[in-house]
A and B are shown apart, each in its own frame.
Chain A
Amino acid sequence: MGYLGSTETVYDDFVLHLPMFEGPLDLLLYLIEKNRFTLHDLEVCPIIDQYLSYIERVRSLDISLAGEFLEMASYLIWLKSRLLLPEELTYTDEEGKNPADELKEMLLAYQAIKAASRELGMRPILYWDTFPKGATSEERDITKTSLGPLMEAIQAIRARTKQLIMNITPMRFSIQDIMARIQALFSGKKKITLKEAAPTGEKTEIIGAFMAALEMSKLSIVRLIQRGLFSTIYLIKRTENK
Chain B
Amino acid sequence: MGKREIIEALIFSSGSALTVKDIIRILPGSSREEIERYIEELNGIYEASNRSFRIHLVATGYMFVTLPEYAPYLRQLVTPVKLTSASIEVLAVIAYKGPCSKQTIDGIRGVDSTSSLKQLIKHQLIDIKPGKPMLYYITEKFLEVFGLTSLSELPDITQFEEVFGVT
Contacts and interface: CB of A to CB of B under 8 A. Distances in A.
Interface of A: 22-26, 33, 38-39, 66, 68, 72, 106, 108-121, 123-136, 138, 146-149, 151-152
Interface string B65-108: 11110110011011011110110110111011000000000001
B161 A135 contact: no
B124 A111 contact: no
Nearest to A128: B80
Contact of A120 (B66, B92, B166): B92
Nearest to B63: A132
Interface stretch (B2-10, B25-33, B36-44, B144-152): B144-152
A133 B96 contact: no
Given A131-B74, A133-B63, A149-B122, A106 B110 contact: yes
Contact of A116 (B56, B124, B144, B157): B157
Given A112-B160, A128-B71, A147-B128, A123 B85 contact: no
Contact of A128 (B63, B83, B167): B83
Contacts of B130: 147
B80 A116 contact: no
B165 interface: yes
Contacts of A136: 77-78
B110 A116 contact: no
Interface in B130-152: 130, 139, 144-147
B111 A68 contact: yes
B66 A147 contact: no
Contacts of B86: 22
Given A24-B111, A134-B15, A111 B160 contact: yes
Contact of B118 (A112, A124, A152): A152
Nearest to B66: A131
B121 interface: yes
A33 B74 CA distance: 38
24 contacts: A22-B85, A24-B111, A33-B167, A66-B111, A68-B110, A106-B110, A110-B108, A112-B160, A113-B89, A116-B92, A117-B88, A117-B92, A119-B160, A120-B154, A124-B147, A125-B83, A127-B81, A131-B78, A133-B63, A134-B15, A146-B124, A147-B129, A147-B130, A151-B121
Contacts of B91: 117, 120
Given A25-B109, A152-B121, A117 B71 contact: no
Contact of A133 (B64, B118, B127): B64
B163 interface: yes
